[in-house]
Structure 1
């Protein structure tokens, strides 16, 4: 089965990751690439200014970039992947859904909308049921599905694994790579020999999106998880890979060994881009580390380590590749789920 896909915002940092991940994908075939009006009409090779660490696929390099608009995007595409800036996505994505397109989006707009699935397949695949509610309430035949913020997606699968012990409160401090801000997002003079102790909007995303992901959907209605989440987000001078220090207060008092087992045994999903084991747990207290561990499972596996018991619960570190597992790879995985579940 070949699914023809379009990439919205294909020339940016996450868009280039989409191209890299979808090249030679067993199901998806890149049939269209879009960008701003300034790039429309150029070849993808000229428009993209390729910066990913593998050669630009020749099958995409010669494609002509089209404008990101409902009028310009072909009707015969089966699925759209979006890495648009949130302001652009807020206007364009609903238009595309009204035109009948299914959109798997990495953009931050509407992630917390009650009728929009915010999905990590290993955590809450059943939230796709919200598509029926979305179609009924918005009167469109398409569908809009979101993946969470890159820092949220690093932490939340580990919380889902610990929810069996009763999640009460979570405090997290992040050390986030510069690629999360985009190629021009942080200048070298800002970040070299420095740490930026604030990332606008990031803390609120972690605190709200995680509760939606861990929540439940019943009869087409969403209920948030009642866990309390507090986040402190910091930009550090690593290139890729978000490392997070998590402090989880639990209703029960599991040992570090029991937490290790819960994380390591967290169930995966049978999808082409999914790692067989979603979470790898290190015994070595010095791991995970961004440079050494961000590409585990081709960048799709989450790493955890440094587990220890505290008077309040459990402390541990977790890590994921922010532009693969935390962005383009997450949308691709959601796209695979949409195909598997028959929405595409």
Structure 2
């Protein structure tokens, strides 16, 4: 099956990751690129300040960038990936949805909307059925699906594995890479020899999105998971890879070996971009580390280690590549799920 796709916001950091991940994709054919008015009409090579560590694919470099408007995207494009700033996406995505496009979006707007699936394919694929309710309530011919924030998606697969032991309370401290702020998001004078103990809006995203992702869907609405979540988010001078320290209070008292088994054996999903093993667990307490482990399974795996028992549960560290698994790769995987489930 050949599915024609487009990228909204194709010149930014996440848009560039989309292009890298779509190169030689077995199902998706890149057919449209959009960006700001300043970039519209230029070739992609001219419009994008390419920052990814592989060359721009030749066929993409010569493509003409359009405006981020339905008039500049062909009707035969089946699926759109959105990497727009949330303020722009909130205004623009509905225009495409009204025109019948299916949008798999990395933008943060509407993630917690009651009728919008917030999805990690290995965790809650059934939440896609919210699309039927979304179409009824909003009158859209298209469909909007969101992936979670990059820090949330690093932690939630490990929490999903722990849920069999009765998740009650989660405290997490993040050490987040500078690429999560975009190419110009943090200046060198701010971050070199430093750490920034605040990332605007990040903590609330982790605290709410994780409960929706692990919530129960009854066919009409998602009930948020009952666990309490408290997050402290920090920026550190690594390029890619969010490392997080998690303290999980559990109703049961599993051993370290039982926790490691639950993570290692947590099932994946059969999609082209999915990792063979979702969670890689290290026995070495010094792992995972961003530089050594962020690229496992083409950057789509989550890594965990340092598992220890605590008075009320367990503590451990987890890691994921924030612009691949945590952004473009997450939207790409959602797009593959939409195709697999017949929504595209």
TM-score by length of 1: 1.00
Q: Give secondary structure in 2 for the equivalent of 1:234.
A: strand
Counting only pairs closer than 5 Å after superposition, residues 1-344 of structure 1 correspond to structure 2 as 1-344=1-344
| 1:168 CA drift (Å) | 0.1
| 1:217 CA drift (Å) | 1.1
| 1:213 CA drift (Å) | 0.1
| 1:70 CA drift (Å) | 2.1
Aligned equivalents of 1:23, 1:251: Cα separation in 2: 45
Aligned equivalents of 1:219, 1:290: Cα separation in 2: 39
Q: How many residues in Structure 1 have an aligned counterpart in Structure 2?
A: 344
TM-score by length of 2: 1.00
Query: 1:299-336 CA deviation, whole Å, 9 max, x = no partner?
Result: 00000000000112100000000000000000000000
User: For structure 1, which runs of at least 5 residues remain unmatched after alignment?
Assistant: none
Query: 1:227-285 CA deviation, whole Å, 9 max, x = no partner?
Result: 10000000000000000000000000101110000000000000000001100000000
Aligned equivalents of 1:190, 1:140: Cα separation in 2: 43
Query: 1:10-54 CA deviation, whole Å, 9 max, x = no partner?
Result: 000000000000010000000010000000000000101111000
Aligned equivalents of 1:309, 1:11: Cα separation in 2: 45
Aligned equivalents of 2:248, 2:222: Cα separation in 1: 24
Q: Give secondary structure in 2 for the equivalent of 1:123.
A: coil
Deviates more, 1:26-35 or 1:211-220: 211-220
Aligned equivalents of 2:56, 2:216: Cα separation in 1: 41
CA RMSD across the alignment:
0.5
User: For structure 2, which runs of at least 5 residues remain unmatched after alignment?
Assistant: none
Q: Give secondary structure in 2 for the equivalent of 1:246.
A: strand
Aligned equivalents of 1:217, 1:260: Cα separation in 2: 27
Aligned equivalents of 1:22, 1:72: Cα separation in 2: 21
Aligned equivalents of 1:94, 1:54: Cα separation in 2: 33
Aligned equivalents of 1:10, 1:219: Cα separation in 2: 35
Contact 1:70 1:92 in 2 (8 A): no
Aligned equivalents of 2:222, 2:96: Cα separation in 1: 24
| 1:221 CA drift (Å) | 1.2
| 1:76 CA drift (Å) | 1.0
Q: Which 4+ stretches in 1 moved above 2 angstroms?
A: none
Aligned equivalents of 2:48, 2:112: Cα separation in 1: 31
Aligned equivalents of 1:140, 1:90: Cα separation in 2: 15
Deviates more, 1:67-76 or 1:297-306: 67-76
Q: Give secondary structure in 1 for the equivalent of 2:145.
A: strand
Aligned equivalents of 2:54, 2:323: Cα separation in 1: 14
